[in-house]
Structures are given as C-alpha cells and as structure tokens.
Structure 1
Amino acid sequence: MRNKPRFSTLFALALTLIAALLLTTAMLMGRSGDNGKIVVTVRLWAEPIARVYQESFQAFSRTHPDIEVRTNMVAFSNYFDTLRTDVAGGSADDIFWVSNAYLDAYADSGRLIKIDGPNQGWDPAVTEQFTRNGVLWAVPQLTDAGIALFYNADLLGAAGVDPAVLDTLRWSPGSDDTLRALLARLTVDVDGHLAGTTGFEPRRVRQWGYNAANDPQAIYLNYIGSAGGVFQRGNEFAFDNPEALLAFRYLVGLINTDHVAPPASDTNDNGDFSRNQFLAGKMALFQSGTYSLAAVARDATFHWGVAMMPIGPKGRVSVTNGIAAAGNTASKHPDAVRQVLAWMGSSEGNAYLGREGAAIPAVLSAQPGYFAYWKAKGVDVAPFFSVMGGPRIPAPGGAGFAAGNEALQPYFDEMFLGRGDIAATLQQALQQAQAAANAAASR
C-alpha cells in the first residue's frame, strides 16, 4: 500500500498548479511575450491561410517591433462552438475570423470592436456582409467569389464527353433538362454499367457523376437561387417556398432516384467526402468554390479544369461568401489590436493571402497576385468570377441563425437520405429553425 503524500508535498503541488494556472491566465488575458512585446493572437480555421498570415505578420512586426502577432488555428468542424464558449468566458483571441452567418450575435452583444470605414478599397460585397445597422464590425479578409464546376477531364474523355458541353448544362424539372442524362453517362458501377441502364447496381458504384448533397454553399443555395427561390427573407427562414421545394426535389432525386451522386449516408456527416472522391478520381464533376481550388491543384493526379455551374430555370444564380477579422472588445491591448486589424485590411498585408493562391484577398488592390498565381499554373479561374455577373442568392445569416441552422439539420439530413415527404419536411424544418432562431435572438 502506498504512503499518503505529506502535507508539504501537497502544498507544494498546489502552489505549482496555481502558478501554472496564473501563468496560463496571464498569457490568455495579458498576452505579454517573454521578450516584453505585446502579443496579439489571431484565431482562424484555415491552415493554408495560417501559413501565409505568419509571413504577413512577420512583415507587420518589422515596422511594429513592439507587437508580436501569433495565429491560433482551430478546426472548422468545431470553430464556432469553441469560439462561442471562449467569447462568453472571456478567453477568446484578440482577433478572430467570423462569417456572416455568426456576425449579428457577436455584434449585438457588444463583443466586437467597431471598424472605422468602410475602406473604399475593400470588396463591397464582403463589406456589406459584415455591416449591421450601418456599422462595420469586422475587417474583410477574403472572398470566395462564386460557385463553379470542377471536372475530371480524363473521366469525361473516357465517356466521350467534350468539356465544352459543361457550360451549356441545364437543370430543370421539365423536358429541357440536360444535366441528369449527362450525369447518368458519368456514373458507373463496379461492373461497368451506367446509371439508368439495365444491371446498374446503385450500391456498388465505383465512379460518381456529381456531388449533389446537403451542402448549402456549394450545392443547395445555388439551386434554390437558380430556381427563383429564397432561403431567407431578411433574417427569417423562408425555404419552404415553391421554388426552393422544386430545387430540393431535384437534388434529392439525383441522389436517391437517379443514383448519380453519393448517398447522403456518406455525405451528411462528412463534408469532405465528395471532394475526396473527386481527388481520388472517383467523381467526374465536383461543384464547389475557390476554397477547394488549392486542394484540387495540389492533390489531383488527373487532368482537370473548371466550367460554369449548371443553368437553372431562372439562369445561373450563385451564392458568394466572405470572411472577415473581428476585434475582441475583451482584449487587453485594444490599440495593438487596431494596428493589427489595420494591417490586415491594407493592400500590403492582405496581399499575402493571394500570392500562393490560397484565397482571394478581399482588398481589391491585393487581388492581382491571386490571378497571377493561377494564371502561371495554367488554371482558368474565370468561371468562379463570371457567374458573379448574374443574380446572386444571399449567404444566410442574422441574429439567431446559428441556432436555427442547427435545428434544421436533422430534418435536412433525413430529407437528403430520401426519407419522408419533402414538402412536409421543409415545413417542419422551417418551424423548428425559426423557433430556435427566435429563442436565441431573444436571449
């Protein structure tokens, strides 16, 4: 039997733990570096951006030797959950990334530093997303442009499909639809049978045609917009309108009737499933945004390209989204935070994001480096930008959106699995989402 530790041992251990706790608290709240510099921390969720941010912040520190900037990378899968907890507990970083969907709750609760401006050199679409009640609450950092269609040129060639055809594809509930037939030609089971032909085994597919899925930014918001529908009206959920119903029925049919896209059992809980299938050469068409461009360029081992996304009943209507950096009002170094934010919103500081093609800078004068990078790689990024010349569907957001979005997910998961009546599911999802959003906004 072990002897109990002496009181002096316990006391010493307690002092050690208290000292460690105080040191951690000091680092979190005061954030003073060992070298006496003021330490400003920046939280984000994209590792490629974290790398280029480090280069940018090193350049900043050369002209601001009393300030050291450190990045804190948090996985996107739990980014906003941990951010909410840390902001409430007073331990969030000095600066943190926010998306439009989560802006209002932080702005309305006094958690964000007001931004002077807006700067006329910032992308107006991103600036608008982060402006609430006439006040800009975060510094624009990057824009995703629009949605386009990555294609595997080798798989298209094997199926006898000219990539030029992709720019003419049309989805429709009527006889003018051309997308479904093409996707059937591009979907193949393990025995070589094409989708829709005799002997095709939908449970034994080796090559998918397309990535229809419960994915708002890449897929269903664009279909809703292209059908003439809306997802929200103002800050109210409104996705049970007839046009949105048409879009959801079409997408659910691609998955569960035509079997030209992976089953929702694979994609509902794995947002990277379709991208990984595409990169593995097991999917012919992959609809996504510029946020997937670097991964495709790095990991694809086949010939590939980018085409326009399909035309809908009301044309091509894309969503676009931006990311901005918000200053934490709980920071112990507000002046230093403002200096870092000013750098992040400058052409020089923001240009680092585009130099290696990692993201499209939200500072307009910093964007040429992004285009030059991809041009040098022989990649035509025009489809992501050409689609923005047409109508757009707004990225969802508003006070209570996060709670509402969480409430609707179980219903959307079931719908994309092909279970239940789609119209009834949308109505139920809308009721639950709006109730959750209202409750969250009133707290």
Structure 2
Amino acid sequence: MKRSAIALAAALTLGACSTPTSDDEAATPTDTPVTITFRLWDSSAVPAYRQSFEDFTAENPNVTVEIEVVEEDAYWPRVDADLGSGTMADVFWLNPATVVNLHRRDSLVPIDTRPDDWETALVELFTVEEGLWAVPQMWSSVALFYDRELFTDVDLRSEALTWAPDGGEGDTLIAAATELTVDENGRNAADDNFDPDSVVRYGFAADPDIRTAFIPFIHQAGGQFQDADGRFAFATDEGEQATQYLVDLIHEHGVSPSIDMADDEQLPALFADGEIALYQSDSDILGFIAREAEIDWAIAPIVGGPEGKISSLDGVAAAGNADSDHPEATALLLEWLGTAKGQEPLAAHGLAFPGNLRAQDTYVNHWAKQGVDVSVFIESSRHAITVSAHDLDIQPALEEIRSMRHRILAGEVPVAEGLQQAQRAGNDALGG
C-alpha cells in the first residue's frame, strides 16, 4: 500500500531522520549499502551535483547517488507517470508551480525544520498548508544584460532605463532601443530609411517567460499578477498599460523581436551573438552567456517603471519521494542538500544563487573572478514578486496564461480582450 508523506515522516523519525536540519545536525547513517537516484531537468547542473554527491558519499560511504536527467519538456509528464508506476527517483527537482499537486497526492516527504540560513522567499515558495515540502536549492531574479561596447558613454548602473505607459514622460527605454536597433545597412530605427525587414540587431528583448517581463511590468505599472488569495488579477487598466507597452515594442516601434523568435533558446543566443543590445532575463542564463557571448557584456538593474524597479524571484528545490524504497538514505540526502556543504559545489560552479545563504559568497566570488558583478541580482531580489501557489494547483493555470500571452504578444488578439481571457482561463484552471 502506498504510504503517505506523513506516515513516511514518522517512520523516518524513528529510523533515521525525516528532514534536513543544519550542518551540525546529522541524520543516522544507513548501515546497508544502497544506491539512490536524484533527478533534474538541466544537464548543465550535473557536474556541480556530481561533486556534491561525491562529498556526500565520502561522509556516508554506504549511500551512492546516481543522477538522472530528464529534459524539461518531458520532465513533468515523466514525474506523473513514474510516481504512478513506482519508478520515480528518490529525490528530484521541484518548482513552485507543482508542489501543491504533488503534496495533495501524498508524493512528497515533509521537511520538518527551516534553518535560518535558508533563503526565506524560497522556503515560502515550497510551503503548502503551513508545511514545507522540499529543500531549497537555488533561486534567480531578473536584471538587464547589455552589450557594453554600445554604452561606452552611458553608465547603466547609475542611469538605469525606465519605461512609462505609451512611452510618456520619464520613458527612456524606447529612445534607447530605437537607437540601438539597426538594419543590415547600419541605419537605426529612427532613420526614415530604416528597413524593418532586415534587422541585424534589436534594441531590447525580454524572455518569453511571464516572470521576466510580464509580471515585473504589471507590478511596476501599479497592478498585480495575483491577489491576496492567489487568484489572478492582472486584467486591469495597469495590466493593459504594461502589456500594451510590450506589444508596442514589437509591433509599433519594431525594436524588439517577434514572439516567434522569443523562445528560451533563441533569445540568449541572439544576445550572445550581438543581435540583441538589451536583454532582460534572469540569473539562470549567466553560465550560457559567459560561455557563448562574442560581445563584451555586463549586467545592469532591471528596467524600471512608474512604481520603480520591481523584479520577480523564482527557485528550485529538492523533494523527497514519499514512496522511496530507501527512506533512510533519502532523508540523508535531503539533509545534505540543505546544508552549505551540500550547496557549495553548486555555488562554486556558478550554477545559481544557492538556497543556503552561507554558500552565497562562493557563488558571488565565482563570478567576480570572471569579471562579472552579480550583486545586481541580489538587489533585484529585495524588490521581487514571487508567483505563489497559495495552496492552489497553479501549474495548469500558468500554462493557460502563457498560451494567451503568446497570442497577445503576437498581435493575434487585442490586449484588453486577451488579458481578460487569460485571467479567466487561469482562474478557471485553479478551481477551488
């Protein structure tokens, strides 16, 4: 019979340790040699986790950890299928949008402690019904990547770009993006002879993910993405102003690539190749940009709006499979993954800001040695919105919103109508 997370936690409390605690508190080692599995969706994270698990096994010789990679497009269907068939990994990556559904299925091991050195916002993202259901691993916030050679006379850190509804008073983004957008003949978008069909460099782009531009722009306009109960509430005048601005950058001003070009793989590559001058994205792409960029790049604060520089924060956590055949070893690994020692390799590889704050300096120093100042992301995180599940199954709702947002940015549906449809579809998907 399938054991619930509560029952498993009780068994672990008696036999070993139900949840991770601090670096100074250890779970009881397992006496029998076992191999457990850890699943993630990003192959670039494998070297960092491999090092962490080697250190883990050095302290726990009877436990070996094998890493499974399931690409993100197939990840969640595989989670559903493997949990149903009993073939799921013992520990696996989890995002905030899926924690409620898996908690309701009794699929997750409860985390009974919340050390002070865990990033508070990340802990809250994986809390459901006042219980924590995964161990914080890493977080990201949003900033502006830019081609430094194009801004030799502008200090973007002190003279940050701003937007205003309809490009009104205080807007500096449109003018900058217009000057930076050029066609194959070297004419910028302000030139009467500019050819919009032969653009070789766009002035501005933002990731298609709703949290890198959609959510910040809405909140910067004075609106909100969710209300206090977790229902979607962005179909307002402020939401329309923010979204119309993003649509106009593409279709009226021609300074931002079409939505068909704006996927998670194309935009970072276009920026790295010098085909986008200003690129609003999150800290997760630092590794890719550092490896692939052919330009001299730097990072500036997020584009600000009428209400200031409001960003967004997201994260990843490690969850324990409540039906693991190796509950004691699973508990040991969860404990390790919550410690600074367990996360130091993630930080040292520059993978992401670690969920354990005691490992954060290692991450900052990794990038400082490469001449990259990542402090702007830390500042961004202090003024960030999180998309919270609010004890609701939010993943299907976000998919509905992303689909309609794509149509809005493609110009297929008017902004006001599209936002109303997206909000209604999202809230219908939430149920409750």
Above 0.5 in TM-score? yes
Task: Specify the alignment match of 2:29 in structure 1.
Answer: none
Q: Are residue 248 (structure 1) and residue 240 (structure 2) matched? A: no
Structure 1 residue 92: deviation in Å?
1.5
Q: Are residue 225 (structure 1) and residue 256 (structure 2) matched? A: no
Task: Specify the alignment match of 1:168 in structure 2.
Answer: 160
Q: Are residue 132 (structure 1) and residue 136 (structure 2) matched? A: no
Structure 1 residue 164: deviation in Å?
3.3
Percent of pairs with identical residues: 32
Q: Are residue 90 (structure 1) and residue 86 (structure 2) matched? A: yes
Q: Are residue 185 (structure 1) and residue 179 (structure 2) matched? A: yes
Ranges in structure 1 where 5+ consecutive residues have no aligned partner: 1-35
Structure 1 residue 154: deviation in Å?
2.2
Letter in 2 for 1:395: V
Q: Residue 210 of structure 1: SS of its match in structure 2?
A: strand
Matched-pair contact (CA < 8 Å) for 2:125–2:389? no
Structure 1 residue 396: deviation in Å?
4.5
Q: Are residue 63 (structure 1) and residue 59 (structure 2) matched? A: yes
Matched-pair contact (CA < 8 Å) for 2:97–2:393? no
Task: Specify the alignment match of 1:284 in structure 2.
Answer: 277
1:91-145, CA deviations, whole angstroms, 9 ceiling, x for partnerless residues? 211111111111111112211000120112211111111111111100111111x
Task: Specify the alignment match of 1:104 in structure 2.
Answer: 100
Structure 1 residue 301: deviation in Å?
2.0
Q: Are residue 202 (structure 1) and residue 196 (structure 2) matched? A: yes
Task: Specify the alignment match of 1:15 in structure 2.
Answer: none
1:305-362, CA deviations, whole angstroms, 9 ceiling, x for partnerless residues? 1111111110011101121100011111111100010011111111111012111111
Q: Following the alignment from structure 1 to structure 2, what is the Cα–Cα distance between the partners of residues 292 and 166?
A: 23
Higher relative contact order (CA 8 A, sep 6+): 2
Task: Specify the alignment match of 1:430 in structure 2.
Answer: 423
Indicate the RMSD between aligned Cα atoms, in angstroms.
1.7
Q: Following the alignment from structure 2 to structure 1, what is the Cα–Cα distance between the partners of residues 349 and 117?
A: 21
Residue 156 to residue 300, structure 1, CA distance change in 2 (3 Å): same
Q: Following the alignment from structure 1 to structure 2, what is the Cα–Cα distance between the partners of residues 212 and 254?
A: 11
Task: Specify the alignment match of 2:26 in structure 1.
Answer: none
Q: Are residue 53 (structure 1) and residue 49 (structure 2) matched? A: yes
1:240-389 paired onto structure 2 within 5 Å = 240-267=235-262, 270-389=263-382
Letter in 2 for 1:187: T
Task: Specify the alignment match of 2:208 in structure 1.
Answer: 214
Structure 1 residue 428: deviation in Å?
1.2
Q: Following the alignment from structure 1 to structure 2, what is the Cα–Cα distance between the partners of residues 91 and 230?
A: 40
Q: Following the alignment from structure 2 to structure 1, what is the Cα–Cα distance between the partners of residues 53 and 316?
A: 18
More helix by share: 1
Letter in 1 for 2:163: W
- Say which of 208, 212, 237 aligns to 2:232: 237
Q: Residue 119 of structure 1: SS of its match in structure 2?
A: coil
- Say which of 25, 39, 44 aligns to 1:43: 39
Matched-pair contact (CA < 8 Å) for 1:237–1:430? yes
Matched-pair contact (CA < 8 Å) for 1:212–1:251? no
Q: Following the alignment from structure 1 to structure 2, what is the Cα–Cα distance between the partners of residues 290 and 128?
A: 20
Matched-pair contact (CA < 8 Å) for 1:141–1:322? yes
Matched-pair contact (CA < 8 Å) for 2:407–2:413? yes
Matched-pair contact (CA < 8 Å) for 2:207–2:280? no
Residue 167 to residue 341, structure 1, CA distance change in 2 (3 Å): farther
- Say which of 377, 394, 412 aligns to 1:419: 412
Q: Following the alignment from structure 1 to structure 2, what is the Cα–Cα distance between the partners of residues 288 and 417?
A: 20
Q: Residue 423 of structure 2: SS of its match in structure 1?
A: helix
Residue 296 to residue 348, structure 1, CA distance change in 2 (3 Å): same
Q: Following the alignment from structure 1 to structure 2, what is the Cα–Cα distance between the partners of residues 278 and 257?
A: 22
Letter in 1 for 2:45: I
